Amino acid sequence: MKLTKEQLEQFDREGYLFFPQQFTREEMKALTDEVPQLYSRREAYNVREKGKDAVRTNFAAHMYSKPFAKLARHPRMVRPVMDLFDEQVYMHQFKINGKMAFEGDVWQWHQDYGTWLNDDMMPTERAMNVAIFLDDVNEYNGPLMFIPGSHKKGVVEAKHDLTTTSYPLWTVDHALIAKLVERAGGKSGGIVSPKGPAGSMILFHSCLVHASSSNLSPWNRVSVYLSLCAVSNHIRRFKRPEYIAHRDFTGIECLPDDCLLKDYPVDLPWKDGVPASAMQTTSVPFDEMKKAA
């Protein structure tokens, strides 16, 4: 899959691309069948909703689940980002976000790069998300909301919200959101919300301001996010556990396009459990650690 000139121009202008039905229902089944047993695990990598048992985010499934390890190497998800960066990419973060029926909480307005910069010391915004819907996404089950063109502002001011939900974010205040929405078109396109069937894919810039509301519907909205970073732009600090922010900066080698339907070998380094080293953190920058070594 190679992005066209028109798609590259749209991405530069709006900060995202939407690909309805990028994957088939058969391909999705290999992933959705795996989610319940992943969510059932009582592990640190399953972050649950505040005061609830529903999983908000599952981290790093590509390290211990074969179907998701194959997805992490899928050319339809990885190669468009390589096209945009003209460089190999590594997996900075891998999440299965579970916006579960009746229980899925909000994700506040934020930029992903704001968190990656503040928490991980990622040098520039040469990283982005590729999301795939595991469930049909409609206007009722908490779809993503984007402010088109907001990535053009670069990194905006944010505050570290540690209390609203069970997962801390560097969030953008309401006054600035109102300005960004008005600048993007106000009620006429200042907020967009891509919706579509399971298997649809979104690629979006790491500075694009986005959020999602709670899910009060009877339908789950589970999505997978590959946060892919240019190899040259790897993080410089390991303040967060490795299951959240990965430390292997090796470029991803893609599998064949039919990898979700066929049995290709993949490495599962955490299949027997997350190693203690993945839980260790430090505030010392990466370059200083290398000098000390």
Instruction: Give the pLDDT band of residue 163 (cuts 50, 70, 90).
Output: confident
5 part of a folded domain: no
| Domain extent at residue 42 | 16-106+124-145+196-202+215-292
Give me the sheet containing 169-171, strands edge to edge: 144-146, 210-212, 107-110, 169-171, 159-161
Mean pLDDT of the chain: 94
101 part of a folded domain: yes
132 part of a folded domain: yes
pLDDT at 284: 73
pLDDT at 102: 96
pLDDT at 291: 57
CATH number at residue 237: 2.60.120.620
Instruction: Give the pLDDT band of residue 117 (cuts 50, 70, 90).
Output: very high
pLDDT over threshold 70, residue 292: no
160 part of a folded domain: no
Q: Among 137, 63, 74, which Cα is nearest to 104's?
A: 137
Average pLDDT over every residue of 123-133: 97
pLDDT at 79: 96
Q: Among 188, 183, 194, 175, which Cα is nearest to 133's?
A: 194
The domain tally of the chain equals 1
281 part of a folded domain: yes
Intra-chain end-to-end CA distance of the chain, in Å: 41
Q: Among 26, 21, 20, 76, which Cα is nearest to 257's?
A: 76
180-214 burial code (b ≥16 CB/10 A, e <16): bbeebeeeeebbbebbbebbbbbbbbbbbbbbbbb
Task: Please tell me what DSSP assigns to residue 283.
Answer: -
66 part of a folded domain: yes
pLDDT over threshold 90, residue 141: yes
Least confident of 1-10, 11-20, 90-99, 242-251: 1-10
238 part of a folded domain: yes
Dihedral angle of Cα 244, 21, 67, 62, to the nearest 10 degrees? -10
Burial class (CB in 10 A: 0-12, 13-18, 19+), 292: exposed
pLDDT over threshold 80, residue 1: no
Instruction: Give the pLDDT band of residue 169 (cuts 50, 70, 90).
Output: confident
88 part of a folded domain: yes
